[in-house]
Amino acid sequence: MKSWKYLMMTTMIGSALALAACGDDSDTETTEETPTEETASEAGTETETPAAEEAAIEGTVSGDGSSTVAPITEALVEEYAGVQPKVQVTAGVSGTGGGFEKFIAGETDFSNASRPIKEEEATALADAGIDFTEFQLANDGLTVVVSQENDWVEDMTVEDLKKLWIEDGTAKKWSDINPEWPAEEVVFYSPGTDSGTYDYFDEVILDGEDLVKSATLSEDDNVLVQGVQADKNAIAFFGYAYYLANQDTLKAVKIGGVEPNNETIESGEYSPLSRPLFVYASNKALSENPAFYDFMKYSLENAGEMAEAVGYVSLPAEKYEEGLSTLEGLK
């Protein structure tokens, strides 16, 4: 899913290119001939191959992983296609855990993740003989949302979230959190267990306890969005970009009095739900597949701009420079 910012950006780029292409040819004709190699040679000059042609790369690149990171990757893939049209980049969305499974199996060149790699995943990669490198792309604020029609929830504490989301054998009602809230059962929507968003929520909110059993789980964040939009008693959590793209119908719940936005996410004030977003790259693929190396270079050079365009928070410029330096060492 792309935010209006990114769609507007690509539309503006396309319009600019169209104007440039049409710009100066109204009612005029060019009478000069474009020099051929032969005429150029006769004139004592040499023709040069355009730099773009010299740098043209062909190949395929494959990735999979987090649905949270997906909007950034989708934006990068679309823009990169205009730079290297002969490179085919595919990026699936199996969730962070599902993406790592494919990465461990050697099926992909990179794996997107909305949490750091787990020790057992790193061990499995080592056992498979796959060396990898972690690159951070952006920051995100895991956002707890309710419907705009919900006129009672504005702010919750971490303890409120624990009481609401941890399974305890009871039917959860809003009035369990605040007696002034309706005695209506809460309808839960959650990312699936293969999702890095689920893992992160499990770590910082559930503390390893079971998620409420009545929750509807899906690896597709759009399913969660639609579920909350349709029910004023629903609640869900997912990446900040999906909230921004649907903020006309969803309401972000403040956590401990702090609302998620670019400033609070970047500063870490939106705690404990601020988190980094990663891509894990196969070192072998980087060294042996020029197309993949070039795509990763393009990604690190443009991830900050794309992250902001689709609703996430970019890193300081020096962080991307560090990533590019690390990448160069793997070529």
Write the CATH number for 123: 3.40.190.10
pLDDT at 69: 96
Mode of pairing for the β-strands spanning 143-147 and 250-252: antiparallel
Residues 263 and 156 in one domain: yes
**Number of domains composing the chain:** 2
The verdict on residue 14 lying in a domain is no
pLDDT in tens, 133-189: 999 999 999 999 999 999 999 999 999 999 999 999 999 999 999 999 999 999 999
Residues 261 and 156 in one domain: yes
The verdict on residue 21 lying in a domain is no
- Record the tokens describing residue 74, joined without a space: 């989708």
CA-based nearest residue to 89, from 132, 59, 56, 57: 59
Binning pLDDT at 50, 70 and 90, where does residue 56 land? confident
Outline where the chain has alpha helix (H).
4-22, 37-42, 51-54, 70-83, 95-104, 119-127, 158-165, 196-201, 221-229, 240-244, 262-267, 283-288, 290-310, 317-328
- Record the tokens describing residue 215, joined without a space: 């929750």
Residues 84 and 147 in one domain: no
Residues 148 and 239 in one domain: yes
The verdict on residue 95 lying in a domain is yes
Residues 293 and 176 in one domain: no
Residues 115 and 152 in one domain: no
Q: What CA–CA distance (Å, rounded) separates 174 from 180?
A: 9
Please report, for residues 251, 264, 327, the alpha-carbon distance to residue 139 in angstroms, rounded to integers and kept in the order given: 21, 11, 20
Residue after which a domain boundary falls, among 267, 289, 313: 267
Query: Who has greater pLDDT, 50 or 185?
Result: 185
Query: Who has greater pLDDT, 25 or 125?
Result: 125
Residues 121 and 224 in one domain: no
Q: How many Cβ atoms from other residues are within 10 Å of residue 201's Cβ?
A: 24
Residue after which a domain boundary falls, among 240, 267, 294: 267
Peptide bond into 272 cis (omega under 30): yes
Residues 148 and 256 in one domain: yes
How many percent of the chain have pLDDT more than 90? Answer: 82
The verdict on residue 211 lying in a domain is yes
pLDDT in tens, 294-305: 999 999 999 999
CB 146 within 8 A of CB 174: no
CB 116 within 8 A of CB 200: no
pLDDT in tens, 210-224: 999 999 999 899 999
Residues 115 and 154 in one domain: no
The verdict on residue 221 lying in a domain is yes
Residue after which a domain boundary falls, among 216, 239, 267: 267
- Average pLDDT of span 41-48: 43
Q: What CA–CA distance (Å, rounded) separates 140 from 3?
A: 15
- Report helix, strand and coil shares of the chain as percent, to nearest 5: 45, 20, 35
Residues 296 and 259 in one domain: no
pLDDT at 17: 32
CB 3 within 8 A of CB 245: yes
Q: Is the pLDDT of residue 11 over 50?
A: no
Binning pLDDT at 50, 70 and 90, where does residue 107 land? very high
Residues 84 and 155 in one domain: no
What is the C-alpha end-to-end distance of the chain, expressed in Å?
32
**Domain enclosing residue 116, as ranges:** 59-140+275-330
Residues 258 and 297 in one domain: no
* Prediction pTM value: 0.77
- Average pLDDT of span 192-201: 93
